[in-house]
């Protein structure tokens, strides 16, 4: 069995989702700060829910029989967390330039992640 570029991308996205999903539970506080205040319920609820979504997406991506769905789920996940990245950019707009660079750099990164997820979806 040969590994394709889409397989490598799927494994990379799965690793990213696994790592971030675990972090949502191990160290939830930084994620709580990313939750837009207009969302109903507690920030911690949304932190844990997004952690579950990340872990579930990783599981879909790693399994070849669910990879197509995993690619689409990853796209939805990356679009769904974009408001959190916008919140971070807004909240950090007066921080030192290094933190602003991180916050603003995350915004176009989401588009790249969606594109990679769609590549997996199409190739599966």
Domain ranges of the chain: 5-123
Q: Quote the CA–CA distance of 57 and 86 in Å, as a whole number.
A: 22
Q: Quote the CA–CA distance of 121 and 52 in Å, as a whole number.
A: 20
Q: Which residue, chain included where needed, has tokens 């669910």? A: 66
Give me the mean pLDDT over the 40-44 stretch: 96
How big is the chain by its Cα radius of gyration, in Å?
15
What is the value of pTM for the model shown? Answer: 0.90
Give me the mean pLDDT over the 84-107 stretch: 92
Q: How far is residue 11 from each of residues 17, 54, 77, 115, measured CA to CA in Å? A: 10, 13, 16, 15
Q: What is residue 13's predicted lDDT score, i.e. its pLDDT?
A: 98
């Amino acid at each position: 069995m040969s590994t394709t570029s889409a397989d490598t991308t799927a494994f990379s996205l799965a690793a990213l989702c696994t790592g971030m999903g675990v972090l949502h539970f191990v160290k939830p506080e930084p994620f709580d700060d990313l939750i837009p205040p207009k969302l109903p319920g507690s920030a911690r609820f949304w932190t844990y829910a997004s952690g579950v979504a990340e872990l579930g997406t990783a599981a879909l991506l790693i399994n070849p029989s669910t990879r197509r769905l995993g690619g689409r789920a990853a796209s939805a996940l990356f679009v769904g967390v974009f408001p959190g990245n916008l919140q971070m950019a807004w909240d950090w707009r007066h921080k030192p330039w290094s933190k602003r660079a991180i916050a603003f750099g995350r915004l176009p990164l989401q588009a790249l992640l969606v594109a990679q997820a769609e590549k997996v979806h199409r190739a599966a």
